[in-house]
Amino acid sequence: MILASISPAQWALVVPCCAATLYIMFAALVRYGHPVRRVNTDEKPVSLRPVSVLKPLCGFESRLHANLETFCKQTHPCFELLFGVASLEDPAVAIVERLRAAHPDTDIKLVVDASLYGSNRKVSNLSNLENRARHELIVIADSDISVQPDYLVKVTGPLLTAGVGVVTCLYRARRIGNFWARLGALFIDEWFSPSVYLAHAAGSQRFGFGATLAIRRETLDAVGGLRAFRNCVADDFSIAQAVRRMGLRTYLSGMHDDEVVLRGNIQRVRNREPVRWRVEQAAARDERGGLCKPGRIPERTDFALRLIARARAAVESVI
């Protein structure tokens, strides 16, 4: 009787609310301990093989020194840090020099190279670092994250497991700023991360996050090296996807990086993560597996970009 008395308009409100509640409950169960394909939290075996950490830099960022310094304080016994900039005039150079002075026992290299190989400048920067990396294990990490002292030990450990091709990490938002920074942090912590947890619980491996990508050099060479992704929109996703196409799996680490969400405006919040996530999803569905061909991007990814651009223009016209 009660259900029969509910009007269609009320059903239109009740059904989405119930669906959202179930989604939140399931995401919480997956995240906080229910045995439904949990994210890996036991990073065994431990890897103590030498590691090259590639850190592309461009300009000054809030907390840049503090973030980079967390990589200088790793408990791993043998690693090198390679910081890449396009010019000696880059403000990040002074930060790297401060780190060198404060941590003389850490193997820190500054690579100044403006060489470009495609439309993705970050990948060109990384490719210049790749050419100078000395070690078998490579970790690619964004400049705006901070990590725990055992980070390198734990994220490289799974690479010793047969069948694992790439290791990646989720990240938590550390907001600095006003309402828009809080909004960006909410997107990462309350929408983006739960979506990944649910996808992982359902068996998906179709992800790869620039906050952390750990990979063996031989695997990276097998997919063409970083330069093969010089025209990719979502280079981190494309690298992981290329490795999966080799028959190797993506390992979602239980480690969490902390990513800085800066003080910003509505334009930055609208443009950043939501747009990029939709592009990655379009690339994941593309018949070429999200890999970018030289000089162009997959048709479905291109369509997604154009569609998002039109939607953004429509929103801006009424704000």
Q: pLDDT tens, 182-241?
A: 777 777 777 777 777 777 777 777 888 888 999 999 999 999 999 999 998 889 999 999
pTM of the model: 0.75
Residue 221 bears catalytic tag: no
Superfamily of domain 39-263: Spore Coat Polysaccharide Biosynthesis Protein SpsA; Chain A (3.90.550.10)
Task: Mark out the alpha helices in the chain (DSSP H runs).
Answer: 8-31, 64-72, 92-102, 121-130, 151-156, 179-186, 193-201, 217-222, 235-245, 266-271, 273-285, 299-318
Residue spans of the domains in the chain: they are 39-263
Q: pLDDT tens, 160-179?
A: 888 999 999 887 777 666 67
Task: Determine which one of 144, 235, 236, 286 is catalytic.
Answer: 236
- So what's the pLDDT on residue 259? 60
Angle between the N-to-C axes of helices 273-285 and 299-318, in degrees from 0 to 180, rounded to the nearest 10: 150
One-character DSSP codes across 17-53: HHHHHHHHHHHHHHHTT-SSSPPP----S---S-EEE
SS3 state at 237:
helix
Residues sharing a CB contact under 8 Å with residue 319, sequence separation 6 or more, in sequence order: 266
